[in-house]
Structure 1
Amino acid sequence: MTSENRKIDSLMQQAQELERSILAAHRLDRLVLYPEFSRTLARLRVAGERVPSRMLRLEQMLSEEAAEEMFDNMPV
């Protein structure tokens, strides 16, 4: 196994662990994990790895939740 393959395997494992943590967490805890999850997926893309669609959907859902949270906390 090459160094690049090990790196990709490690990134995928990290993404899977974050995915499990996010799915098991409460809403605000998920948002805390979102930036790291998104960065990990971005690194997978840069490495040329295909990101599973379920992870892309989760990333999109977290992005929407983060936007909602930002507007919920705006002063009126």
Structure 2
Amino acid sequence: MTDLQQRANQLEDQIKTATHTERMALQPQVDRVVATLRATGQSVPRRLERMNNELRDEAIEDMFDNMPI
């Protein structure tokens, strides 16, 4: 297991127990790990892709929740 894969596992464990605010703070790190895994030709586990997509969706939703009407 590479350092990057270990970091992905650590982030995954952190996110499982994190509050919403903590999850949003970790989202950019997850996104970078996924992008780096892809860029280096390593496989990205489906669960990590799903988690990253869910975090992105949450972040986008938060942006719109805070938008003035």
Mapping 1:1-76, distance limit 5 Å: 9-76=2-69
Residue 10 of structure 1, CA deviation = 0.3
Distance in 2, Cα, partners of 1:61 & 1:44: 18
CA distances 1:35-55 after superposition (whole Å, capped 9, x unpaired):
011101111111100000000
Q: Segments of 4+ in structure 1 off by > 2 A? A: none
SS of residue matched to 2:2: helix
TM-score (norm 2): 0.95
Distance in 2, Cα, partners of 1:72 & 1:28: 14
CA RMSD of superposed structures (Å): 1.0
Residue 23 of structure 1, CA deviation = 1.2
Residue 17 of structure 1, CA deviation = 0.3
Give the structure with higher Rg (CA): 1
TM-score (norm 1): 0.86
Aligned residues: 69
